[in-house]
Amino acid sequence: MIAFYCRYGVTPFTPLKGVLIVAPVFCCFFFAIKNMAENVASFKDGGTLWFTDLTTPDSMYIFPILTALTFWITVEVSHLFGIYYICFQ
């Protein structure tokens, strides 16, 4: 079965390891920042560059794009690591 995985470059569960580790971290950051935006007064006037008020949504969608790219890179890297780990053991 491992020869099959190496020949076709597929693994059923290895790419999920990175996602299962990183996804809870992203969720924790999201809920923490959401809670801080409601309860911390300095979020209203403590920004920089294009985001001066941290309680308003990002009108240029830079943060959602950065988050999606970071998540995508994590999935790709964990996928490649899984293939190399199985094939070169």
pLDDT tens profile 3-30: 877 787 767 776 677 778 888 888 998 8
* Per-residue tokens: 18: 């990175």
Are 87 and 10 in contact by the 8 Å Cβ rule? The answer is no
What are 23-62's pLDDT values in tens digits? Answer: 888 899 889 888 887 787 776 676 666 667 767 777 788 8
Q: Look at residue 57 in the predicted model and tell me its pLDDT.
A: 75
Task: Give the span between the Cα atoms of 24 and 78, in whole angstroms.
Answer: 16
- Name the burial class of residue 27, with classes exposed (0-12), middle (13-18) and buried (19+) by CB atoms within 10 angstroms of its CB: exposed
Q: Look at residue 84 in the predicted model and tell me its pLDDT.
A: 59
Instruction: Name the residue with tokens 């920004």.
Output: 47
| Ramachandran region, residue 57 (left: φ > 0; alpha: ψ -120 to 50; beta: rest) | beta
